[in-house]
Structure 1
Amino acid sequence: MSGPQVEIGGRFGRLYRLLDWPVRLAGLNLLWLAGVLAGGVVAGIAPSTVALFAVLRDDLLGRPPRPWHDFWRCWRAEFARSQVRLGLPLLTLWVFLFYLLAARGTPVVAAVAVLGVAYLVVLGYLPAVLAHFELPAVAAWRVAVLAAWRAPLWTVGLAVGVVVPVAVMVFVVPAAIPFFLPSVPAVVVMRVALRVFGSLTGPVR
């Protein structure tokens, strides 16, 4: 995988890169699934997700990664700390779901739903933050909040770019799920996040 690379320029180069993305995303998705299983499913979700975003980050920044090597290197490095930095926030989604069901049929349900959506928006940025910055948990959350609320139009675009392909896979092409979920939403999030992070460099550092 690390042999000599042939540069293809012009229209053929752009076409090649466009056609190459589905193959790369499918490969990364299978790596993500392998990482989840390697961590016993529950403990494997957080490090696999951070590793997926880290590989996509390097690719989008023009630093061609070695997917297998880079994914597992990041997976091992993130296995313990990602449980706190990403695993716990993911588990809190069940808390919001519990309160949403408990508040069903009461005036409180609207407030819980709004809080839940806001939380999901911030949580959507979190894996990208962890892959892009070397930050502790609290600082990573602060950056995710800043990214979500300082760039509202990008955040809306991110939400649409995630919901639409996920809905298509779930309701139209479920056979694509093992190959492109979560890699397709992840590349959308990472692409948007890299644009937003440029304006946050000052506050982060």
Structure 2
Amino acid sequence: MSGPGLVVDGRFGRFYRLLDWPLRLVGLNLLWLAGVLAGGVVAGFSPATVALFALLRAYLRGGSPRAWHDFWLHWRAEFCRSQLRLGVPLLTLWVFLFYLLAARGTPVALAVAVPAVVYLAALIYVPAVLAHFDVPATVAWRIAALAAWRAPLWTLGLGSALAVLVMAMVYALPVAIPFFLPSAPAALVTLVAARVFGTFPTSTHSPHR
């Protein structure tokens, strides 16, 4: 503890910074909901999600972003291009879901389920890629697929943890949904993605500052 501003260092400092996260995630979740609604839900989903991941990346890197200002800055910057970079992959996921439902109870369902799972493993990383790298849509998708392929155990663990976290909120603590979904899962994805991206060659792509 030092200085007139009561700065806490060491293990206690890390503990107090950890305590900031629940309130921070609540604030980010409410911003995400506002961003989704501001875009008429369908058009607002992608820019709000990219803005959420951009702020999470800034926080995890030790920054102090101005949550309200920076969220809407990212939201406006991403409103158009995120429809392609994130919206198209999400629409493709609905195509897989449609065919899975149409083929349920038949051998075709397994043939659809396997590529759907592989696709979902890569899709998990897409918002984090868009927050981390300033790249076109096709490059972002390729980086997401590369991340899933380079770190299969991390990806498997991440997918399992996300499923448990979401199911726990839905079935055990639904009151937490408006405050921590999707901000808490997004924080987990951002944390794992930063570790996976750190294994990429430094010359591969230029990250955002």
TM-score (norm 1): 0.94
Q: What's 1:203 paired with?
A: 204
Question: Are 1:124 and 2:115 counterparts?
Answer: no
Q: What's 1:68 paired with?
A: 68
* Counterparts of residues 42-81 of structure 1 (less than 5 Å): 42-81=42-81
1:167 to partner: Cα distance: 0.9
1:160 to partner: Cα distance: 2.1
Distance 1:59 1:144 in 2: 21
Aligned residues: 201
Q: Is the 8 A contact 1:43 1:83 kept in 2?
A: yes
Would you identify which runs of 4 or more consecutive aligned residues in structure 1 move more than 3 Å? 201-205
Question: Are 1:9 and 2:9 counterparts?
Answer: yes
Q: Which moved more, 1:100-109 or 1:136-145?
A: 100-109
1:90 to partner: Cα distance: 0.9
SS at match of 1:62: coil
- Percent sequence identity over aligned pairs: 69
Q: What's 1:106 paired with?
A: 106
Distance 2:155 2:203 in 1: 20
TM-score (norm 2): 0.92
Q: Which moved more, 1:12-21 or 1:133-142?
A: 12-21
Gaps of 5+ in 1: none
* Counterparts of residues 75-94 of structure 1 (less than 5 Å): 75-94=75-94
Q: What's 2:185 paired with?
A: 185
Q: Which moved more, 1:140-149 or 1:108-117?
A: 108-117
* Counterparts of residues 129-148 of structure 1 (less than 5 Å): 129-148=129-148
Q: What's 2:26 paired with?
A: 26
CA offsets, 1:33-54, max 9 Å, x none?
A: 0000000000000000000000
Distance 1:87 1:6 in 2: 45
Distance 2:81 2:12 in 1: 42
1:204 to partner: Cα distance: 3.2
Q: What's 1:36 paired with?
A: 36
Distance 2:130 2:205 in 1: 12
Opposite residue 175 of structure 1, the aligned amino acid is V
Q: Which moved more, 1:58-67 or 1:143-152?
A: 58-67
Q: Which moved more, 1:174-183 or 1:63-72?
A: 63-72
Gaps of 5+ in 2: none
SS at match of 2:186: helix
1:6 to partner: Cα distance: 5.5
